[in-house]
Amino acid sequence: MFRTAALVALALSFVGCSQFQPARRPFAKPKKDPPPPYGSPVSAVPNAPVANQSQLGIATADPAPPRSGDDPPLIPAKDVRPVSSIVPAAPPANRNLADLNELVSTARASWKGINGYEGSLTRRELNPKGVVNSEVLVYQFRREPMSVYSRTTAGNGKGREVLYAPAKHGDKMHIVLGDGDSKLAKAGFKPDPISPDDSQVRAKARYSIRDAGFGKWIERLGTAVAQLERGALAPGALTFDGPVSRPEFAHPLTGVTHRLKPGDDPAMPDGGTRVYLFDTAPGSPSCGMPLVITATDPTGREVEFYLFEKFRASALTDADFSPARLGKK
């Protein structure tokens, strides 16, 4: 009897243990070993990828060897410099102003080192009477004392000569008439010297001869850059265009565009656009000089075109600006 009761108790305890199951996590998935031959004993497979291994990689039993100092990583190390030590790129407006200032500084320095120069000037402009004059000139200029000589070799007034040396020969222009300059006098005639302020002169010329030379144009642009810097010009009114190719030159020139509002420039009362093209090639004889200047009115019509070629710095003398040379070619 006692033996029978013990056997019954032992059977009941076995049934209770076999029905007990531990609590299952809600998202747990049963482990499955891959079938042979890919499987391996559970103890040989790591529970997580080894070091230096992607989470998407196949786990291996052997860890990756450490990288040597001569074996650079494929992905560069992240820049961990503090934010305060990283210099941000200059905004476009600041770069534009810096480029303009550098260009003007170069031009001023180059101009300061030139006293006399000569070359060929192609001039095409709308004069105050609304007539377009187009001519090619042999051109000579001396900065100190200011002196100008030109002879028209093609276009309107072919054969005309103009000489102006106020420090030596008074504030008068000495002229030899060219083709079509007068209905009463033939080409080659020498009228009396005339003031640059005379109405006959002003009616035919867009600018006074007192404004001759590269210096006036350089200072005109320098004034506009200063206005831009102090906020007197809109940010887009003056832009540095960079390299610009011209068929007349073997190397690119450096362009600047000035967008003029009405009243900005007496020569362009309705506004318009003026473009400067500077020679900035190191070692060039004309480095720093604005070799091409063009201007259009608000309708896009050309009103100014000045092209200077064959530039040569020259030690010009008083004899080069003497009225005695006129008419002798």
Q: Give the 3-state DSSP-derived string for 250-299, with helices as H, strands as E and coil as C.
A: CCCEEEEEEEECCCCECCECCCEEEEEEECCCCCCCCCCCEEEEEEECCC
pLDDT less than 70: residues of the chain: 1-91, 329
Q: Give me the domains of the chain, ranges plus CATH numbers.
A: 104-325 (2.50.20.20)
| pLDDT value of position 174 | 98
Identify the pLDDT of residue 32. 52
Please, what's the b/e burial string for 120-147 (b: 16 or more CB within 10 A of its CB; e: otherwise)? bbbbbbbeeeeeebebbbbbbbbbeebb
Q: What is the per-residue pLDDT for 43?
A: 44
Per-residue pLDDT, 17: 42
Q: What is the pLDDT of residue 93?
A: 77
**Overall pTM > 0.85:** no
> Would you state the pLDDT for residue 139?
98
pLDDT at 328: 86
Copy the structure tokens of residue 25.
């996590």
The predicted pLDDT at position 192 comes to 96
